[in-house]
């Protein structure tokens, strides 16, 4: 299983999201710190889940980072996290998954 799939699986198991998008942005960071041949080092995650509703922004991000501790130990270098409303993203630039 690749890193992208592992991230998706772990976040789905932990947070039961109503929306989840995992984007591999490694190629955009070619030559930067942490980049390696083959990619899977830099990701962006957009996630919506009721789990995050009572949490502060810092606590939300910590929860995601804690869920992916193993991926960081295995070589994930950077993760950009965007928590979106539990009923899904309101930003039109965020693509909705197809049903």
- Residues 14-34: what's their mean pLDDT? 77
Closest CA to 25 of 43, 51, 3: 43
Tokens at 75, concatenated: 């070589």
pLDDT in tens, 58-98: 999 999 999 999 988 887 878 999 999 876 555 545 444 44
Closest CA to 3 of 28, 22, 29: 22
Per the CATH hierarchy, to which homologous superfamily does domain 3-83 belong?
BolA-like (3.30.300.90)
* pLDDT on residue 47: 95
Contact 45, 11 (CB under 8 A): yes
- Indicate if the pLDDT at residue 43 is higher than 50: yes
Q: Within 13 Å, how many C-alpha atoms sit on residue 10's CB side?
A: 19
Tokens at 3, concatenated: 């890193």
* pLDDT on residue 94: 47
């Amino acid at each position: 299983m690749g890193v992208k799939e592992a991230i998706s699986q772990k976040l789905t198991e932990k947070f039961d999201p109503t929306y989840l998008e995992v984007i591999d942005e490694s190629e955009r960071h070619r030559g930067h710190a942490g980049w390696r041949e083959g990619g899977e080092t830099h990701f962006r995650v957009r996630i919506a889940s009721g789990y995050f509703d009572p949490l502060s922004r810092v606590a939300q991000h910590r929860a995601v980072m804690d869920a992916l501790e193993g991926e960081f130990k295995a070589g994930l270098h950077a993760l950009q996290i965007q928590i979106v409303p539990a009923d899904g993203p309101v930003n039109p630039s965020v693509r909705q998954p197809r049903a």
